[in-house]
Amino acid sequence: MVALNSCIEDSFDQVDGLLQRLSMLRNWSRQTLSAYRSDLMDVHRFLYASQTTLFEAQSEVLVLYLGALMKRGLRASSIQRKRSALSTWYSFLQQEGLREDHPVRKLPKQRRGRPLPKNMSEDDVSRLLLTPDVDSMHGLRDRCMLELMYATGMRVSELVGLQLGCLDMQAGVLRVVGKGDKERLIPFGEEAGVWLSRWLQKRPQIANAFVFPGRAGKAMSRQNFWLRMRKYAEEIDLKPLPSPHVLRHAFATHLLNHGADLRSVQMMLGHANITTTEIYTHVSRVRLHQWVDAVHPLGSGD
């Protein structure tokens, strides 16, 4: 092992010499040079074990390297940084006439990782829905809005902008105009329908087309709804405090947890691309793994 490490270090001297030249040409700081050296040394060790070098490596072995980084559990941003270091290296080799091709340009694009959306458990959603005082006008309105958002996965802008003409109480569906002025029909279910009927009976009889009218004949603002929701979350000590958008996430995740079809969830959410909806399948898997770890005899739970 000592001899192998010595060979690796000796072969890296050639790389380091060129890296020093590149640093001077580009006026890198000491920290930048150190970062590039660290990234290239990492791939150099992998390539040396694969019986090739940073001068000769082909796209196929570099794909294996990036795959090995993913197996190590590196974040997408860290993998992208190492890929960028490789791209800079092979561009320099081309400029110096030391290589004709650029193997990194042949690699598939590295997709930037997306953070998993924040989510609420079904119990927490139930607690939140039960919090408003439905004997008051504002409480009844808020309960109806929370129920409707959780039942449909509407965006908060779509909820506060919902108009009376967009409701079909008999069919149990509503029409919303989402991003890009695209319309979609969403079923709202029996429970939300009950609260919607109760609210429409008590709703102020004003010349206002909005289901949830605000002041001066305008729609309620998104900020006002968020403040109302935060108030209820604080009352039941729900932490972290959820935003209205978290109810949309909960809608999608809970549907998938109960076996809903991904394409149907995409249509209800109004996502133009199904890959946007697929993030919720990852949330479901994470929760499944956590549940197995907690209850399975061989899991990590107590």
Active site residues: 155, 179, 245, 248, 271, 280
Please list the residues that pair with 167 across neighbouring strands. Answer: 174
Backbone angle region of 75, left / alpha / beta, with phi > 0 → left and psi within -120 to 50 → alpha: beta
Distance between CA 203 and CA 219 in Å, rounded?
Answer: 14
Number of H helices, E strands in the chain: 13, 3
CB atoms within 10 A of CB 145: 27
Distance between CA 281 and CA 284 in Å, rounded?
Answer: 5
Q: Give the type of residue at 99.
A: R
Q: Give the type of residue at 61.
A: V
Distance between CA 187 and CA 164 in Å, rounded?
Answer: 15
